[in-house]
């Protein structure tokens, strides 16, 4: 269940930022400037059957302005068609239309800051390739909305050609983002691509290297969750064990009587086994029934996160809420685990009956 969430989270994030693999000029990742871009026409420098799409980008910074307002923005020169396969940018349009050949897409937060509508013209100035001056006017054709505030406040999309001529960076790219059909082969594809890129001065990186924070936060969350669950299991196990110990101790005398008057230990064990089973089953069912309304409440009223955690969530493109699942599979799985724990611990009463000494038991 938790694992599923992570896969989804990785997929979302990876798609949005870097792809499973990224190709850059040697040095670009350390210093993300246009001078560290590479010659890359629209032709694909590598081939591999696992690659779904390779998305070229030319990314840099600019100062944008409209009316009397200005703001620093991230300019992304993109291939609209391929970009939509990777990031589904075309699905994020809230006003206007998707990018075709001319004009710009701007993020919704930025648009509202600049008080800019579809049809208005955005002015941008920047420093281009090798320090040339860059200036340009770009009519806004559409507005896109991102859940991540950082992106929503400062993203501008141009076609690759327009971005190149704006920055004076003809034929250059800052990155290729590679999307794979099957993320599990990432490492293997990376090795093959590495071979193909040998001697070109290009470097291929996987998402784990490009986004160590994501890996960290997932691991933290994952192991944190795991530890939490084991602690809970341990607590529950102690509770159950305590109950069984009580149940056995309290009835030692009774068992002693039964053995004395001639009830075979095997029969007593069978009787107690049934009790243990029914007790466990009943306990688990009761647990499910009791937790259901609580879970339902949190499902309908999710906990809204605040502070650092909220920022972290937003950074990776999620709403800062802690989702609760009503998936019956969770009840089923957890129920089975607890039942299993209970039945394993149920060995204790069996053993103590087996070892029961009736004379001692009768003295209790």
Q: Residues interacting with other proteins, by CB under 8 A?
A: 253-254, 257, 259-267, 358-359, 362
Minimum Å gap between C-beta 243 and other proteins is 19
Minimum Å gap between C-beta 7 and other proteins is 53
Going by C-alpha positions, the residue among 361, 10, 20, 23 that lies closest to residue 193 is: 23
Cβ within 8 Å of residue 249, ≥6 positions away: none
Q: For other proteins, which is the closer residue by CB, 164 or 251?
A: 251
Q: How far is CA 105 from CA 93, 153, 170, 209, 212, in A?
A: 9, 13, 21, 29, 29
Q: How far is CA 176 from CA 168, 179, 267, in A?
A: 19, 10, 72
Minimum Å gap between C-beta 356 and other proteins is 10
Minimum Å gap between C-beta 263 and other proteins is 6
Scanning the structure block, which residue is given the tokens 């941008």?
A: 124
Strands 133-144 and 121-127: antiparallel
Minimum Å gap between C-beta 360 and other proteins is 10
Q: For other proteins, which is the closer residue by CB, 93 or 362?
A: 362
Residue 99 phi/psi, 5° resolution? Answer: -70, 135
Q: For other proteins, which is the closer residue by CB, 85 or 362?
A: 362
Q: Is 318 strand, coil or helix?
A: coil
Q: For other proteins, which is the closer residue by CB, 35 or 254?
A: 254
Minimum Å gap between C-beta 257 and other proteins is 4
Minimum Å gap between C-beta 307 and other proteins is 57
Q: For other proteins, which is the closer residue by CB, 32 or 265?
A: 265
Q: For other proteins, which is the closer residue by CB, 153 or 352?
A: 352
Structure tokens given for 100: 């075709």
CA distance 135 to 353: 88
Longest Cα pair distance anywhere in the chain, in angstroms?
A: 103
Q: For other proteins, which is the closer residue by CB, 327 or 364?
A: 364
Q: For other proteins, which is the closer residue by CB, 262 or 293?
A: 262
Structure tokens given for 14: 């990876």
Q: For other proteins, which is the closer residue by CB, 282 or 299?
A: 282
Phi-psi region of 101 (alpha: psi -120 to 50; beta: other; left: phi over 0): alpha
Please check whether residue 29 is in contact with residue 210, taking contact to mean a CB–CB distance below 8 angstroms.
yes
- Give the DSSP letter string of 124-183: EEEE-GGG-EEEEEEEEEEEE--SSHHHHHHEEEEEHHHHHHHHT-TTEESEEEEEES-G
Scanning the structure block, which residue is given the tokens 């694909």?
A: 44
Minimum Å gap between C-beta 246 and other proteins is 17
Minimum Å gap between C-beta 220 and other proteins is 53
């Amino acid at each position: 269940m938790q694992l599923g969430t992570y896969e989804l989270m990785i997929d979302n994030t990876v798609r949005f930022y870097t792809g499973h693999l990224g190709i850059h000029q040697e040095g670009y990742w350390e210093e993300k400037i246009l001078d560290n871009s590479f010659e890359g026409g629209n032709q694909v420098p590598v081939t591999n059957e696992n690659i779904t799409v390779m998305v070229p980008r030319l990314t840099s910074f600019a100062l944008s302005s409209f009316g009397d307002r200005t703001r620093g923005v991230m300019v992304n020169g993109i291939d609209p068609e391929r970009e939509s396969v990777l990031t589904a940018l075309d699905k994020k349009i809230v006003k206007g239309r998707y990018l075709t050949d001319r004009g710009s897409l701007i993020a919704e937060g930025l648009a509202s800051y600049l008080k800019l509508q579809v049809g208005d013209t955005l002015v941008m100035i920047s420093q281009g390739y090798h320090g040339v001056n860059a200036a340009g006017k770009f009519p806004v054709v559409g507005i896109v909305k991102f859940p991540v505030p950082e992106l929503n406040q400062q993203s501008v999309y141009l076609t690759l050609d327009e971005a190149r001529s704006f920055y004076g960076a003809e034929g250059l790219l800052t990155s290729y983002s590679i999307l794979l059909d099957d993320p599990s082969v990432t490492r293997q594809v990376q090795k093959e691509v590495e071979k193909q890129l040998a001697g070109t001065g290009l470097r291929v990186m996987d998402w784990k290297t490009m986004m160590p924070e994501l890996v960290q936060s997932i691991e933290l969350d994952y192991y944190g969750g795991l530890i939490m669950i084991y602690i809970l299991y341990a607590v529950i196990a102690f509770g159950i064990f305590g109950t069984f110990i009580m149940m056995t101790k309290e009835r030692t005398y009774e068992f002693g009587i039964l053995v004395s008057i001639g009830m075979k230990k095997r029969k007593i064990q069978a009787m107690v086994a049934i009790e243990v089973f029914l007790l466990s089953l009943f306990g688990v069912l009761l647990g499910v029934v009791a937790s259901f309304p609580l879970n339902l409440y949190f499902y309908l009223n999710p906990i809204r996160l605040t502070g650092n955690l909220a920022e972290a969530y937003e950074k990776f493109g999620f709403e800062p809420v802690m989702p609760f699942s009503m998936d019956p599979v969770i009840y089923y799985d957890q129920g089975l685990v607890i039942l299993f724990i209970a039945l394993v611990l149920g060995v204790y009463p069996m053993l103590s009956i087996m070892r029961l000494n009736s004379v001692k038991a009768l003295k209790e």
